Amino acid sequence: MKKIDKKIIIAIDGGPGVGKSSVSDIIARDLGIVHIDTGAMFRGLSYYFIKNNIELTEENVIDNLPKINVVLKYDNNVTSVILNGEDITPYIRKEEVSKAASFVSKIKEVRKKLLDLQREMAKNQSVILDGQDIGTVVFPDADFKFFFTADIEKRAKKRTEDLIKKGENVTYESVKKALEQRELENKTRKEAPIKKADDAIEFDTTKYEKEQTAKIILDMILERIDKA
Ligand code: DC
């Protein structure tokens, strides 16, 4: 583990399936800092509606927001998502949750609620956050900003394998289509769409395993810290 002695904020943004979360996990572990998976927060919030069988409409989402409490819990480098006291981690990567999360992420009130939480979590500690609007909206002054991209074929292949392992009945074609659809929704939403911050370093993860990407990004971070 590398020790850094000042508080830093690292932002990793990008579209769905580019490897933001798994790479952030490795970097967080190597630096001994907290990883805030903001996508998991959107997923956790959206799962409330699936669990309680509430139709996903903008009005329903806004009405129910005060009843929803999403917390990320950390135990031995493993992140759990807690929704109103219940650990829902095993459910949040399902396709229906991906779809629901993409829907709720368009709603201004949802973004405000989670943005406040994200800023609060980063108040007194070094963190790495992965998401879609970290470098542009949540922490425009982050110390390090990266924007990940990857070929759709690799993203769809990996996502299909992961979902099949979890017992979901999907095909490569259905997953690819859903990924493209979500990415389009995320890029064209009015509130905080996916966008590379002007001062973010763009990085294409297609050719690399997650450990290789993590090492390259970590080396860039440490080099800059050493020079400062
Ligand atoms: O990264 P992910 O697939 O776990 O994200 C799930 C959804 O959450 C994604 O469709 C859009 C939304 N999201 C967002 O709007 N802003 C973020 N910072 C992170 C995720």
Task: Quote the pLDDT of residue 76.
Answer: 83
Task: Quote the pLDDT of residue 45.
Answer: 98
How many Å lie between the centroid of ligand 1 and the Cα of residue 86?
Answer: 21
Tell me if 126 CB under 6 Å of ligand 1. no
Name all domains of the chain by residue range, CATH numbers in brackets: 9-204 (3.40.50.300)
How many Å lie between the centroid of ligand 1 and the Cα of residue 76?
Answer: 24
Could you tell me if 70 and 132 are in contact, meaning their C-beta atoms sit under 8 angstroms apart? no
Q: Is the dihedral of CA 90, 194, 191, 174 positive or negative?
A: negative
Pocket mutation for ligand 1, best pick of 20, 49, 97, 105 (most atoms within 8 Å of C-beta): 105
**Structure-block tokens of residue 144:** 């390090």
How many Å lie between the centroid of ligand 1 and the Cα of residue 5?
Answer: 30
- Give the nearest ligand 1 atom to 134 CA: 18
Residuewise pLDDT in 10s, the chain (228 residues)? 777 888 999 999 999 999 999 999 999 999 999 999 999 999 999 999 999 999 999 999 999 999 999 999 999 878 999 999 999 999 999 999 999 999 999 999 999 999 999 999 999 999 999 999 999 999 999 999 999 999 999 999 999 999 999 999 999 999 999 999 999 999 999 999 999 999 999 999 999 999 999 999 999 999 998 887
Q: Strands 78-83 and 70-75: what pairing?
A: antiparallel
- CB-neighbour burial class of residue 215 (10 A; exposed 0-12, middle 13-18, buried 19+): middle
How many Å lie between the centroid of ligand 1 and the Cα of residue 224?
Answer: 28
How many Å lie between the centroid of ligand 1 and the Cα of residue 227?
Answer: 33
For residue 201, which phi and psi values (nearest 5 degrees)? -90, 125
Task: Quote the pLDDT of residue 77.
Answer: 79
Q: What helix, strand, coil percent values describe the chain, rounded to 5?
A: 50, 15, 30
Tell me if 101 CB under 6 Å of ligand 1. yes
> For residues 167 and 53, what is the distance between their CA atoms, to the nearest angstrom?
22
